[in-house]
Amino acid sequence: MVVCAAVAAAAAAAALRLPLGASALAGAALGAAAVGLELAVALRRAPAPVASAATGEGAKLVDTSAIIDGRIADVVTTGFLDGPLLVPRFVLRELQRLADGGDPLRRNRGKRGFEILKRLQDLHRVEIVEADVPGVTDVDGKLVELARQRGARVVTTDYNLNRVAELSGVNVLNVNDLANALKPVVLPGESLRVQVLREGKEPGQGVGFLEDGTMVVVEQGRRLLGQEVAVVVTSALQTSAGRMVFARPRVEGDEPRDA
């Protein structure tokens, strides 16, 4: 484009019988104008800069419960969760209210939340976003609407928020669901050792827990309260609250099949 402009300027100067120096100056001026026009067109066609806060399916908005829970930091450390975690400013304000509250338990929860955020910052995996949702007062409602607007997913451990988000068409990453999915599978006939800690809901039942928190309901286990006993798995049930295992005390003649 620049060469063509210079040639055109030289031809015009020759037609007008201008001196050679004047024709050179005219060509240079027209060439500079052409460069400026070409640069302006290129800048207009250039893509707009990408915002620092991720949007779309890769974006993950973290709620207060997932921050306080703390396991999200462990998941990030293992590399099973990629991309930045976005924490809206209104979630930080909720943590601040907890940390400044009068109830000691709530204060400890708020302080733990800030400790987890600091750990995520050290891993360079969290970003604070200033976005807000005018007209919505509660934090959960703001989070769901913001995720819907951005096409983002919500990271939580809150069952109610999980349900509201799903009903609103927002994808959810529930840390509890991940933890339940990673628990070892036990099959009928396998043997376990469990300490019977309390009575069950049904007559004669006893209840204990495995190391990962799985509840074990022991038939006729009430008489074994306070004891660590060998049991045989009879069935297992997956619920929204986690996995439950049903078992009976192992008796002589049972073939041992350790889980």
Phi and psi at 188, nearest 5°, equal -55, 135
- Is position 216 within any domain? yes
Question: Do 72 and 157 reside in the same domain of the chain?
Answer: yes
* pLDDT at residue number 11: 47
Question: Do 136 and 234 reside in the same domain of the chain?
Answer: no
Mean pLDDT in consecutive groups of 10 residues from the start of the chain, 259 residues: 46 47 46 45 39 64 96 92 91 95 93 96 93 92 95 95 95 91 86 94 94 91 94 86 87 66
Name every residue whose Cβ is closer than 8 Å to that of residue 163 and which is 6 or more positions away in sequence. Answer: none
Query: What does the alpha-carbon distance between residue 257 and residue 190 come to, in Å, rounded to a whole number?
Result: 5
Q: Is the dihedral of CA 42, 48, 52, 55 positive or negative?
A: negative
Question: Do 84 and 148 reside in the same domain of the chain?
Answer: yes
* pLDDT at residue number 138: 93
- Is position 142 within any domain? yes
Question: Do 151 and 199 reside in the same domain of the chain?
Answer: no
Query: What does the alpha-carbon distance between residue 136 and residue 138 come to, in Å, rounded to a whole number?
Result: 6
Of the candidates 81, 241, 86, 83, the one whose C-alpha atom is nearest the C-alpha of residue 177 is 241
Domain boundary among 132, 152, 181: 181
Query: What does the alpha-carbon distance between residue 249 and residue 176 come to, in Å, rounded to a whole number?
Result: 30
How many domains are contained in the chain? 3
Residue 45, token pair as written in the block: 């066609």
Total residues found in the chain within this entry = 259
* pLDDT at residue number 26: 45
Phi and psi at 122, nearest 5°, equal -65, -30
Query: What does the alpha-carbon distance between residue 170 and residue 150 come to, in Å, rounded to a whole number?
Result: 10
- Is position 106 within any domain? yes
Strands 153-156 and 126-129: unpaired
Q: What CATH number did the domain enclosing 207 receive?
A: 2.40.50.110
Of the candidates 85, 58, 69, the one whose C-alpha atom is nearest the C-alpha of residue 179 is 69
Residue 129 DSSP SS3:
strand
Q: What CATH number did the domain enclosing 138 receive?
A: 3.40.50.1010
If you search the block for the tokens 């660590």, which residue do you land on? 228
* pLDDT at residue number 42: 44
If you search the block for the tokens 């450390």, which residue do you land on? 77
229, β-bridge pairs:
194
Question: Do 200 and 230 reside in the same domain of the chain?
Answer: yes
- Is position 54 within any domain? no
Owning domain of residue 197: 191-249
Q: What stretch of H or E contains 27?
A: helix 20-45
Query: What does the alpha-carbon distance between residue 142 and residue 36 come to, in Å, rounded to a whole number?
Result: 47
Residue 164 DSSP SS3:
helix
Domain boundary among 147, 181, 215: 181
Question: Do 85 and 162 reside in the same domain of the chain?
Answer: yes
Question: Do 24 and 113 reside in the same domain of the chain?
Answer: no
- Is position 254 within any domain? no
Question: Do 153 and 97 reside in the same domain of the chain?
Answer: yes
- Is position 255 within any domain? no
Question: Do 86 and 177 reside in the same domain of the chain?
Answer: yes
Domain boundary among 131, 163, 181: 181
Of the candidates 72, 122, 53, 66, the one whose C-alpha atom is nearest the C-alpha of residue 94 is 66
Question: Do 173 and 195 reside in the same domain of the chain?
Answer: no
Question: Do 77 and 160 reside in the same domain of the chain?
Answer: yes
- Is position 256 within any domain? no
- Is position 151 within any domain? yes
